[in-house]
Each structure stands twice: as structure tokens, then as C-alpha cells.
Amino acid sequence: MSTTLSPTPTTIDTKSRTAEPGRSDAAALIRVAGLEKSYRSRDRSRTRALGPVSLDIARGEFITIVGPSGCGKSTLLKLIAGLIDRSAGSISMGGREINGPQHEIGVVFQSPVLLPWRTALENVMLPAAVQRLDLAKSRARGLELLGLVGLTDFAGKYPNELSGGMQQRVAIARALMHDPAVLLMDEPFGALDAMTRESMNVEIRRIWAESGKTILFVTHSIPEAVFLATRVLVLSARPGLVADVVDVDLGAERSLDIVTSDAFGVFTKRIRHHFQAKGMIE
């Protein structure tokens, strides 16, 4: 199971995490145990969409979640975000059970979900407005975050004046506004063109390295999952179960050239095998 080539410098306890999933880990920031989600169908039978899934996430990890469509990747993210209720199991963060949205978690959705009547800066400041924080301070922080995502010059623009990639960058800055320890990202670059997507991948790696956040990132692109992650969680088809956990030790400094390297190919091949074996990829 372990594919460790070299310890990743950005993670604190690489050794303990290279073990099998669900393993008890005292340093875990987020602990998911026996998590299940099922829905009641029209004929009153229950359909399980996800789980049971168990997973320990350490502080500072970049975990990507891949799986076939409908495997419950987004459901897993929304459960951790506290946006939907679980059917069984537990999710805890820093030892406390998660029930409902948490202050320590920032969410980036599939689409940017910007408010069209607010400027880029005002959109970034939305979490501060909700929490009624000091306006001058949150303004300064908003500008700083727009700088982090490379949009300083666009602070006063409205969303309809920004490109899709820029809008998603505003959404990322917004998720960082209240300085959450964890960032949950649900296929944030799915709607972007290939070129923009690649540059966004490089950028999110940089933001992760600079901010020291723990990131959970859902994607259906295997290369994207490998490029971004310190660890890839591979889910099987519905009901989503953990098919594999792959430690990606490609180093902290990653350029797009890495995609064509042999080591990169080993990871993508391994993940793709899970899907091919089950006939989930044509």
C-alpha cells in the first residue's frame, strides 16, 4: 500500500499517515469514522450513497478525493462541511464532534457562487460581514487575500466583469477570509478550460504552501488529483467506499512538468487501475 519515495516536508507526521486508512492517529485534525449517508427512495427503501468511510486527516495535508460519478465524493465533502446530516458514523475536528457548519472550515463550491451585486472585494469580505467583524480590518485582509490569488487590480470589479477563472479565485479568497484551518473544495475547477485549470492547480498548490491550510479537494480528474495531493483518496462506485489511499510523494515544489515524469505516471496508473478493474472507465 505504501508508495513512499521521500517524506513530504510540508506534513508533520508523514510516517504515521502512510499506514492503512482509518488507523487511529492521535495527531489527526479531522477524524471520520464509519461515516455513512443513505437516502430514502420513493418506494421507501433506503439507498446507501456513501460509506462506511473512515479517514484520519492530519493538519497541513492536501487530500484529493477521486472516484467515478455518483460515488458520493461531493456528499463526503458536504458531510464534513456540516451542510448535510449523516446517517451513521462520526466526524470530529480537533476532538469535537461536527454537527452543522463550522467556523474552522471554509468551503469552495463547484461554481464560484459570487453575489453579483457585490464587487470582488465585497464578495471576499462576505464572511466578515456575516460575522460582523471590524470593517477596516476585514477590508485590509480582503485586499491581502485578493493579492494572494493575484487579483489586486480587480478588487472593485463586479463578478460579471471577471472571467470564470478569476471568479473562482475570488471564491477561494472568500473561503480564506475568516482564516479557517480547513479548506473544502468541491470540483472547483471543473468548469474551467484546460489551460486555466492547469494554472489554477499551480496556484492552489502555492496558496496551500503559503497559508499552511489543510485542504480536501474533490475532483474527477486523476492527473489533477495526483498533481495536487499529498494523499489521494480513491472512492469506489456507489455506495462510495475507500478503494485505496495513495501517498503522493512528488515533493513540495511541483511544476507542471512533473505531469510527464515517470513517478507521476506510476501514481495515475495505479489510481486508474482501480476504475478500469471495475469497468468504470470506458
Partner 1 sequence: MIEATAGKIAAGAVTGDEPEQGWWRANRELVCVPLLFVVVVGLWEGVIRWLEVPLYVVPPPSAIWRSLVNGLGSGLFVSNAFVTLSEALLGFAGAAVIAIALGSAIAQSRFVERVLYPYLIAIQTTPKVAVAPLFIIWFGFGITSKIIMAGIVSFFPILVNVITGLRSTDSQKIELMRSLRASRWQTFKMVKLPSALPMIFAGLHIAVIFSILGAIVGEFVGSKKGLGNLILQMNFNLDTAGVFAALVCLSTMGITLHLVMHWLQRRVVFWADHNQIPGV
Question: How far apart are the C-alpha atoms of 183 and 57, rounded to whole Å?
Answer: 12
**Minimum distance from residue 241 beta carbon to partner 1 (Å):** 26
158 scored as a contact of partner 1 (CB under 8 A): yes
Q: Is 117 in the site for partner 1 (CB under 8 A)?
A: yes
Helix, strand and coil in the chain, % to nearest 5: 35, 25, 40
> Of these, 32, 65, 66, 107, which contacts partner 1 (CB under 8 A)?
107
Residue 109 sits in the site that holds partner 1 (CB under 8 A): yes
Examine residue 218 and tell whether it contacts partner 1 (CB under 8 A). no
| Residue of the chain from 27, 88, 130, 277 that contacts partner 1 (CB under 8 A) | 130
Taking CB under 8 A as the rule, does residue 135 contact partner 1? no
In the complex, least distance from residue 64 CB atom to partner 1, rounded to whole angstroms: 20
Q: Contact 225/219 with Cβ under 8 angstroms?
A: yes
| 258 lies in the binding site for partner 1 (CB under 8 A) | no
Question: In angstroms, what is the minimal distance from the CB of 228 to partner 1?
Answer: 21
- The backbone torsions φ and ψ at residue 51, rounded to the nearest 5 degrees and listed phi first, read 95, 180
Q: Is residue 116 at the binding interface for partner 1, with CB under 8 A as the rule?
A: yes
Cβ proximity of 145 and 176 under 8 Å: yes
User: Does position 92 bind partner 1 by CB under 8 A?
Assistant: no
Q: For partner 1, what does the binding mask look like between residues 187 and 206, x meaning CB under 8 A?
A: --------------------
Using CB under 8 A, which of 5, 129, 256, 281 touches partner 1? 129
CB of 142 to partner 1, least distance (A): 14
Tell whether omega for the bond before 52 is within 30 degrees of 0, i.e. cis.
yes
| Residue choice 19, 113, 133, 202 for contact with partner 1 (CB under 8 A) | 113
Give the C-alpha separation, 163 to 158, whole Å.
11
The set of long-range contacts for 188-194, using a CB threshold of 8 Å and a minimum separation of 24, is 188/108, 188/109, 188/110, 188/217, 189/219, 189/224, 190/110, 190/219, 190/220, 191/110, 191/111, 191/164, 192/164, 192/165, 192/168, 193/164
Is residue 105 at the binding interface for partner 1, with CB under 8 A as the rule?
yes
Name the phi and psi angles at 238, rounded to 5. -50, 130
Binding of partner 1 at residue 3 (CB under 8 A)? no
Query: In the complex, which residues of this chain contact partner 1 (CB under 8 A)?
Result: 81-83, 100-101, 103, 105-107, 109, 111, 113, 115-117, 126-127, 129-131, 158, 160, 178
